[in-house]
Amino acid sequence: MIEFLQQLINGLGQGSIYALIALGYTMVYGVLRFINFAHGDVYMLGAFAGLYVAPWTLRLFGGGPSFAGAAAVLLLAMAVCAAAGVAIEWLCYRPLRHRPRLNVLITAIGVSLFLENAGQSVFGADPKSFPEIIADRALDLPASWGPFAMLTITVGQLLVVGVTLVLLVGLRHVVRRTRLGLAMRALAFNPGAASLMGVNNGVVIAFTFGLGSALAGAAGILTSIQQSSIDPLMGVNAGLKAFVAAVLGGIGSLPGAALGGVLIGLLEALVVGYISPTYRDPIVFAVLIVILLVKPTGLLGGTEREKV
């Protein structure tokens, strides 16, 4: 029982990462009906942005690890990724807006390969050690918790889950309560009708890329808190897993992406804990196949309306 709980706690951290990345896939799918295969690599860019800005942000906040310094690293990485996402959309996808969807899909794969290879030549192909931006340590659980006091919960885990929750609440606010969020939802349903309301669809699409990429950037930093080694290909696997999470939750559904991410994270932890790390990836991808066969609209995805 305790061990099971421990696996869930471990899985929640990784699940938060998948959730944040999956949101970007699902938002872009919502407005453009295409899978941005370069999204996982934006997450990698976030981690490297953190690697480069961390030394001087940390110095700015007193030298050692600190929450303020970590927050600054997080926000800067999110900003860098938002800019990268908007630039990718502008340079690579926008010119293909009125071409067959397959063209832009293939372009996305090209952008992904480009980022991975450019990453290896600019950052170096070998893994880099991410600096300690917060002092990560296991919490001392009070003895009054009885057997639960044996659980290991780290500051890093709490931070990852907490920051993810804050970002999810923030995203929900943007999507449901702001003018751009409303336009995003209208555009996702019917781009032509949205433009008849005066929406500049290009601006909303760029905003969507920026928002999704910022979340991927945050995931890049949060992951580096949990495992300190980063490399230019780290986005490949994480991107694929998050894509599975988005499909599991129902592509196009924001709560679905968050739920799918957490479920995939938990599933991985349980497979690693009870079966074998060898089966982690095969089982996650088997989930993709099963969901596509059994319920392609995912757990929370509505039935796709035919567009006229």
Q: Which residues bind another protein (CB under 8 A)?
A: 179, 182-183, 185-186, 188-190, 192-201, 305, 308
- Would you give the end-to-end CA distance of the chain in angstroms? 53
As a whole number of angstroms, the distance between CA 149 and CA 147 comes to: 5
For residue 98, how many other CB atoms are within 10 A of its CB?
Answer: 6
Q: How far is the CB of 26 from another protein (least distance, A)?
A: 14
Minimum distance between the CB of residue 180 and another protein, rounded to whole angstroms? Answer: 10
The upper half-sphere exposure of residue 162, i.e. CA atoms within 13 Å in the direction of its Cβ, equals 8
Buried b (16+ CB within 10 A) or exposed e, 117-142: eebeeebeeeebebebbbebeeeeee
Which one, of 136, 166, 180, lies nearest residue 154 by Cα? 136
CB nearer to another protein: give 12 or 183. Answer: 183
Please count the residues of the chain.
308
Cα separations (Å) of 158 from 4, 9, 67, 152? 18, 10, 13, 11
Q: Please state the closest distance from residue 178 (CB atom) to another protein, in A.
A: 11
Could you tell me the smallest distance in angstroms from the CB atom of residue 308 to another protein?
6
CB of 93 to another protein, least distance (A): 18
Choose between 183 and 216: whose C-beta lies nearer to another protein: 183
Whole-number Å distance between alpha carbons of 138 and 78: 27
d(CA 30, CA 43): 19
Minimum CB distance to another protein, residue 302 (Å): 8
The least distance separating another protein from the CB of residue 157, rounded to whole angstroms, comes to 36
CB of 216 to another protein, least distance (A): 25
In the numeric block, which tokens belong to residue 240?
């694929």
Which one, 154 or 201, has the nearer CB to another protein?
201
Looking at the Cβ atoms of 66 and 201, the one nearer to another protein is 201
CB of 197 vs another protein, minimal distance in Å? 5
Q: Which of 72, 55, 73 is nearest to 64 (CA)?
A: 55
Q: Which residues, 6+ apart, have CB-to-CB distance to 177 below 8 Å?
A: none
Of the pair 121, 303, the CB lying nearest another protein is at 303
**CB closer to another protein, 3 vs 304:** 304
Q: Between 71 and 182, whose beta carbon lies closer to another protein?
A: 182
Please, which residue, 21 or 257, has the CB nearer to another protein? Answer: 257
**Structure tokens, 200:** 């500049």
| Nearer to another protein (CB atom), residue 201 or residue 228 | 201
Contact 210, 82 (CB under 8 A): yes
Instruction: Tell me if 263 sits within 8 A of 220, measured CB to CB.
Output: no
